[in-house]
Every structure is written in C-alpha cells, then in structure tokens.
Copies of this chain bind each other. A is one copy, B any other.
Amino acid sequence: MKIDKSITNKSHLQVHEHVVAERLRRQRLNKLFIGLSATIPGLKKLDKASILKDAIEYIKRLEEQSKALEEEAGKQLGKPKHPNRIDTSDYHSSALISDIQARFCEGEILIKIHCKQPKQVTHKLLGELEKLHLTIINCSVIPFDESHDITIIAQVLGLGSFLIFTV
C-alpha cells in the first residue's frame, strides 16, 4: 500500500533536517544522562532507569542529610524548634517594625528587620544594646523598597564574639 506523500508537504530536505535535529536532541539527552550519572556516587548500573532512580534516591538522601545537619548545628546552640530564633515580641509590639527575625551562631547574632522609621528603630535598638553592655562596631542604614534595612555589628565586652544585627 502506497503512502501519499502529498499530505505532508515537507520537502526531502526538510525531512532530513528533522531527523538530524532529532538525532542531535537524542545525543544531547544522552550527554545529560552521562553527566547525571557522573554526579551520582556509587552508581553501578548505567541503565537510564537506574540513573534516574538513583538520582531521585540520592537527592532525597542529600536533602535529609542537609536538614539533619542544619538542625544539629542549630541544636548545638539550644533552641530546638525554630533553630536560632529568639524572642522578638517586644519589638513587634512597638509597631515600628514590620518584620523581624533573628538567628545566632557561636555567640554571634543576626537580626533582620524591615521598618519604616529607621531613626526610631535604630535608636531603640542602640539603647537595648547599651543595656546589654554591647559595643557598637558598625551601623549602616540603607533604603530598600520604601522601607529600610539596618545592619548593626556589635561586640560583647570581655568576650571576643560579635553580635551582627542586620535590620
């Protein structure tokens, strides 16, 4: 049974370009398969299905491991549920700060705050730092999206550690 070539109005040249393109695509895919298999350690079967399967498995393992390590790093500092998060209810109640979060690591603290009135907030914060016997090393205020980001670096007297306030 003869197939009518006229229904597909592709020229022979176009058809050949199509097969060439498909060839290129295939070998591109295969390159990626090889690359993926190279990134996976302990892979014995170079079967495509095995590559994909072990890739999924490996990614999940890495994610669990990373999460576990991060939690462990956080636990070493005390607070279990939200690692390194400290109480910031006092600042929230002042209604001056739209968003604040804080973390600390090894005696260093990082606090991020979004606020509208940087002057009042910084003044308040510097007062708090004063109460805590902290030495201000650096303080910078930059405008960002109609509000401000403030970064404060403070140092604990006596201790060598720093407090990093990124407001």
A-side interface residues toward B, CB under 8 Å?
Answer: 25, 28-29, 32-33, 35-36, 39-40, 48-49, 52-53, 55-56, 58-60, 62-63, 65-66, 69-70, 72-74, 76, 83-84, 103-108, 110, 112, 137-138, 140, 142, 149, 151, 153, 162, 164, 166
Q: When the two chains form the complex, which single residue of B25, B32, B52 contacts A53, counting CB atoms closer than 8 Å? A: B32
Per assembly, the copies of the chain total 2
Nearest CB of B to A81, in Å = 12
Nearest CB of B to A119, in Å = 18
Q: Flag if B106 contacts A106 (CB, 8 Å).
A: no
A105 to B149, CA, bound (A): 21
Residues of B within 8 A of A36 (CB): 52, 55-56, 59
List 23 interface pairs A-B (beta carbons < 8 Å), by A numbering. Answer: A29-B49, A32-B52, A35-B56, A36-B52, A36-B55, A39-B60, A39-B63, A40-B59, A55-B59, A59-B62, A62-B66, A66-B69, A70-B106, A70-B107, A73-B76, A76-B76, A105-B110, A112-B162, A137-B149, A138-B140, A140-B151, A151-B151, A162-B166
